[in-house]
Amino acid sequence: MKLLFILDPYTGLNIKKDTSIAMMREAAARGHELYVCQQHDIHLRNETVRIKTQAFEFSKGVNWYNLAKEKETLPKNFSAIMLRKDPPFDNEYLYTTYLLELAEAQGGTVINNPVAVRGWNEKLSVARFPQFCPEFLVTANNQQIREFLAVQQDIIVKPLDGMGGTSIFRLTANDPNIGVILETITNYGKQTIMVQQYIPAIKQGDKRIVVIDGKPLDYALARIPQGGETRGNMAVGGKAVAQLLTERDREIATTIGHTLKAEGLFFVGLDVIGDYVTEINVTSPTGIVELAAQAPCQPATVFIKALEEKLSA
């Protein structure tokens, strides 16, 4: 296979932990050709999508990769194009999904489907599965949030376009900073946010369940808050512990997985706290390196094998 990975700037990638790098290493080990580009290497010339790409090879030492000379090519010349650009999902990300949608219409295969990536906001998409959701509210109205807080007494507020635990706050009914936090996170009522009931089970971990082609891996990566922190995200110091899926985890992941597969969302990370799904990560989910280090599963291998099967079907 000829695989193109759309990545963040290469020099900023963590070669020991990056999920995209793990996928690429496995693909290379299985004999597939690797190519890379960045978001703005995709462009539209008249009606045709074109991409400036470079052949990629792993190497040893400080310079851990080699890149060939840049060439401009068509999306259909790759077996698959992996969209692995990190959020935030801003206008530039939105424009990228439009270009990749056109690329698919011109014979390209994009993982994950760009139309679905655009349509599945990682916070809002939980509303598609109300049977698995905690109590939640989506609004920019500070009074509505205060009323929700008065009922729940303990809530989480977070932006709709964040990642890695950024700008997530826990608020209790007697918090002296309610006003300034709500003013800041909603930009004085101009920015819509997600408000969720606080789930005490976060103390046992915010579980990342990896779903590949509709099927969950047998193990989740529980990200456990440390040092009095509310958030379990590894980006803010959460401790990662592999755990077997519970019956509830499997029910959530299998049910949601059927819909994900139908929508063309091939590689997805579900965030599950206790009995509830809190986020559905479709842009550039991570965590497979840490999971592989602790559990008897090889997520990167499962991913590449599933991709091989999909493309050969």
Tell me which residues are annotated as active site.
123, 158, 208, 223, 231, 271, 279, 281
Could you identify the residue written with the tokens 């994950």? 112
125: exposed, middle or buried (Cβ count in 10 Å: 0-12, 13-18, 19+) = buried
Distance CA 212, CA 50 (A): 28
Cα-based distances in Å from 60 to 16, 57, 66: 13, 10, 10
Cα-based distances in Å from 272 to 178, 222, 248: 26, 9, 10
Beta strands in the chain (DSSP E): 2-7, 33-38, 42-45, 48-58, 65-67, 71-73, 80-83, 110-111, 136-139, 154-159, 169-172, 193-197, 206-212, 215-216, 219-224, 239-244, 267-273, 276-281
Please state the separation of Cα 283 from the chain's center in Å: 4
107: DSSP letter: T
How do beta strands 2-7 and 33-38 pair? parallel
Of 97, 88, 15, 159, give the one whose Cα is nearest residue 23: 15
Phi, psi of 136 (to 5 degrees): -150, 165
